Structure 1
Amino acid sequence: MSTTPGFEPYVLTPLDHILWHFSLSTFYTFKLDNPFMAIPILEAGANKLISQYPFLTGNIIERRATGERKGICEVQPPSEEYMALHPFLNIKYHQRKIPSSSTGPSDSESVCTDSLYNGEFIPVPFGQNRSDLQPLLRIQANIMADGIILCASVHHRAMDAYGFFLIMKTFAAYCAGSEPVASFSPDPTDQAYARQQITKSARENLMNYGELYGYSHLCDYNGEKDESPDAPISRLYKLSAARIQRLKTICESLASTLLSKEEIEDLHNSNTKRSGGLFTQNDIVTSLIGLCGARARKQDLFSPSSLAFAANMRSFLQPSQLKNYAGNVVGVPRVSFLTQQGTDVSNSLKLNTILKTQTLFDPDDLFLLFNLALNVRRAIQSINNDYACGLISHIIHQNDWGALTNASSDITVSNLRHVPMYELDFGPIIGKPQSFDLPENRVEGVAWILPARPPSPTSDYYEAADAPWEFRLTLRQEAIDRLLQDKLFQSMCPPTSKL
């Protein structure tokens, strides 16, 4: 890599401080006849990326307490010595082949998909302390016998999923020898302005943010990986898109039967930019993961459970530059719900007509899912300009920004379904990724809904409605066993759908 360009240190925004204080690693797989030809292309692309966006080379540190506030993080430029030891792009050579869905641990010539998440394949080590220099972004090109596994590790306090996608799209364009499309490219000069405007957007309201954003055990967690026999495990599943649509249709029917005219109007008003009914498939999948995941984790099914999920707030904040802002602009609303009915809902005359024909699903499960999906939809509806500005104000008024994160929940869902990672085009030599994965396994109860996979590696586009819903969920083995025995989950995710 060439000499690293400098930049002025900057403080992370209030919204950055509610995200985890460690890096997440994503994996892009490219099957190539000659993977060595990709190395100079990736190096040239990385050099151009950091020349245009030098802050990507920076390190996140927690500043010493100043005045009444502590725990504030800032991004500082790295030294040349640090960059020599921790280059922005690292090249590592492996003798094994790229994993496939059929590759298992017993295949000595291949690496299993779930085994990628270790120090051999990622550029940023696990378990860094707050006092350590923590890279904002690092990339490692793992040169395999039959292609490349590109791993990008990004510090979550610096970027959300959409901001990270903008950077990767720009990187891909530079590797392809072209300029990124302006509408999907973060303007370097706009980034500082956007950070300032986020802070200036603070405006108090009456919402009690303290119940949603405050201290949790993750505030003290440094991302160290649990290597014990009972450690959480990340597993990849996929759901039938047709059955998700079927559940959506059932929930629409239940809403029409159970809700008042005013309640239905409110839901319609929240969907003015979308078509297709009162719920989205996102609502249904998020609720399904929340319901089945919480039942798998909990012993007491009659006590309330909680589901949190990330919500992009870019469209609710000004200025328009936030559309291409690469930092964090997410809220994390949380809803409470029941995982088991106290009475048999199929005895209700109102519900009987709808539920009696649904032989694939248990009526109690349908009613529980409907209520949770309704709560999710209403929570999404509550995310607006007042919510976003009030959240920023709440954070600013806290004395310790290091003791802030979204409150602990039984299940937390991040949805990348519509983030077009498979459309990243690295040019004629490298091409588009054949696979994208995020096998994060350090935080129990966290689910990642993965981007919709194209129907075939050569397709230029795909229909999101037809693509299976792939997701990863991190649970301990005993909870995984309960999940696979859950009848609702089995009906949506048959054994052949567990990858």
Structure 2
Amino acid sequence: MRPQYPHFEPYNLSPLDHHLPPMHLTFFLTFKPEHPAQALSTLESGLNKLLLSLPFLTGNVARVSKPRGVRQLHPAIPALLDEYPMLRVKHHDQTYIPSNRSSDCETTKISYDEAFIAIPLYHASNELSPAFRLQANVLEDGIILCATMHHTVMDGKGLANVLQALSLCCQNAYIEEPLVPLTTSAEQQFGRNQILEAGLAANPSPSIQTEDSSTSDKTSVPPIPEVPVTRRLVICDDKLAQLRDMCASLGDESIKLSRNDICAALMWLCVIRAREIASPGSADANRKSTIMTVSDTRGVMRPTLPDTYMGNAYTALCTDSPLHHEAYFNASPNSLANQTRGLVNGLRNTDIASVAQLATAIRQDRIALNDEYIRNDLANVLSKPDWQPTFLEQCDYGQSSLRKFGLYDMDFGSALGKISDFDIPDGRLSRIAWDLPARYANAPWELRIGLEPKVMEGLRMDPLFQWVEVK
């Protein structure tokens, strides 16, 4: 029998929600409970408790006609709940949890197919599409919980907030007293209103680059007609710290680079070079290269949004850099491996200088993100006749960090326990990487990245990447 979930009034998604393409993302959380049946019962009870506090998670994303492209969240309808229940349980006989180090060849095929996820990937383009669903995949040696979210409803931080709230509900799944929630529907509505009012109070700014703006200084990059492959790569945290210190000695002392900046810059450089190996001529010196990073606006807006806000509050930053430095070229594997002059701690001087240049550009754009920028960005969305977003195809590479989300610290109660592994094995997006959550303080950096096969091969052969990679 399907549970009865509380009703909520339909509402427009915020202007920040409309920055995101209408697509579902699925996150894989691995648990290793001693008693799977008890764990599943706890999960079901905990989820029902969560949905009493946050019924919007049961809703469906709907398109409306005026203005074009605006999306709303509508209450759940019985037909969709029957077809796609809030929690589906599926048993997979003779299937085992893959090793988290099996980056080159997955020992078990656990990926973005309909056997493991709660909602088919095509469903996001339908007139009504679920905002959030769970599927518990019961394997021989554990449970892989697949949490699927509609990206126009929440960002990565929002999902982390939902999972944190779910963990609290699972800890108290069988306690009858009302649970003090992590947040409330009223607080979420207040956050959406705050975002809308900030945009209405500002003026559109032509200096802010939006998704559909042109980039006249860029020439088209020759496409690499291959289906992307996705791999989980591991980078040494100590090596990133060493490289950060080397870069700091070359740049402006007033600009403090983070390991996040260094990681994004390093991957940007190596992907550019790998693309040049796979498709000679793509790194044309007459054009700029662009990286897309994302920054959380929750603490930047004035007044600030609460950290527990579950909607989209990230904004994309597109950072340009001219491809004039020699480190971008002579990109064949042999030429990179043979350029040994001027090594510093095993790195070429040109590599250090290039990473420093790119990391500084990324950091400067992050520093420039302030309340005025966000308000003008929101005003741009509100002024558009069509809110339908377009994906940032002009970017050569994109990286989003989930590293500080603390997922491995979440306790889902005695039956489920803590998460033993987290992943986003999404092979749909090329040249996009996620920094996965850190397992502990100063843990190696785990990146899930999708690239064309030849580009992936070139990345893995790059001496700079090999220097930081944990084998």
| Residues 1:391 and 1:79: Cα distance change in structure 2 (over 3 Å) | same
Structure-2 residue corresponding to 1:98? 97
TM-score (norm 2): 0.87
Matched residue, 1:161: 156
Aligned-pair CA distance for 1:208: 3.1
Partner of 2:3: 2
Which residue among 261, 270, 290 is the counterpart of 1:292? Answer: 270
Q: CA RMSD in A?
A: 2.6
- Counterparts of 1:42-121 in structure 2, within 5 Å, are 42-64=43-65, 66=66, 69-95=67-93, 96-101=95-100, 111-112=108-109, 115-121=110-116
- Within 2, Cα distance between the matches of 1:296 and 1:489? 11
- The alpha-carbon distance between structure 1 residues 104 and 93, as it changes in their structure 2 partners (threshold 3 A), is farther
> For each residue in 1:269-312, what CA deviation from the matched residue of structure 2 results, as whole angstroms up to 9, or x when unmatched?
xxxxxxxxx11111111111111122223433234211010100
Counterpart in the other structure of 1:192: 189
2:145 corresponds, among 143, 146, 150, to 150
- Tell me how far 1:405 sits from its aligned partner: 4.7
**What per-residue deviation string (whole Å, max 9, x for no partner) do you get for residues 345-367 of structure 1?**
xxxxxxxxxx9561411111111
Cα deviation per residue 1:52-72 (whole Å; 9 max; x = unaligned)? 1111011101112x2xx2100
Q: Partners in 1 of 2:104 and 2:456 — Cα distance? A: 19
Q: Distance in 2 between matches of 1:106 and 1:279?
A: 34
**1:448: which partner in 2?**
434
Query: 2:292 touches 2:395 (CA, 8 Å); kept in 1?
Result: yes
| Preserved CA contact (<8 Å) 2:23 2:125 | no
8 Å contact kept, 1:98–1:146? yes
Aligned-pair identity in percent equals 30
The answer to whether the 8 Å contact 1:175/1:427 transfers is yes
| Contact 1:212/1:407 (8 A) holds in 2 | no
State the partner residue of 1:212: 210
Q: 2:239 aligned with 1:243, yes or no?
A: yes
Secondary structure (helix, strand or coil) at the match of 1:310 reads strand
Q: Which of 127, 136, 140 does residue 122 from structure 2 map onto?
A: 127
Give the partner amino acid of 1:100. Answer: S
Deviates more, 1:28-37 or 1:71-80: 28-37
- 1:34–1:146 CA contact under 8 A, matched in 2: no
Is the CA contact 2:16–2:313 (under 8 Å) kept in the aligned structure 1? yes
Contact 2:203 2:380 in 1 (8 A): no
Map 1:76-475; keep pairs closer than 5 Å: 76-95=74-93, 96-101=95-100, 111-112=108-109, 115-128=110-123, 130-177=125-172, 185-202=182-199, 203-204=201-202, 207-208=205-206, 211-214=209-212, 230-255=226-251, 259=252, 264-265=253-254, 267=255, 278-298=256-276, 299=280, 300-301=282-283, 302=285, 303-338=287-322, 341-342=325-326, 356=342, 358-406=344-392, 408-453=394-439, 462-463=440-441, 465=442, 467-475=443-451
The CA distance in 2 between the partners of 1:53 and 1:419, in whole Å, is 20
**Pair 417,181 (structure 1): closer, same or farther in 2 beyond 3 Å:** farther
- 1:476 to 2:452 alignment: yes
Indicate conservation of the 8 Å contact 2:114/2:120, yes or no.
Answer: yes
Cα distance in 2 for residues equivalent to 1:85 and 1:381 = 46
Secondary structure of 1:401's match?
A: coil
1:75 corresponds to which letter in structure 2?
L
Query: For this pair of structures, how many residues does the alignment match?
Result: 438
**1:440 positional shift:** 1.4
Q: Secondary structure at the match of 2:416?
A: coil
Name the TM-score, length of structure 1 as normaliser.
0.82
Q: Determine if contact 2:248/2:257 at 8 Å carries over to the other structure.
A: yes
> Matches of 1:30 and 1:343 in 2, distance apart?
43
- 1-side partners of 2:459 and 2:29: how far apart? 28
- For 1:199 and 1:377, how far apart are their aligned partners in 2? 28
* Pairing 1:14-29 to 2, within 5 Å after superposition: 14-29=15-30
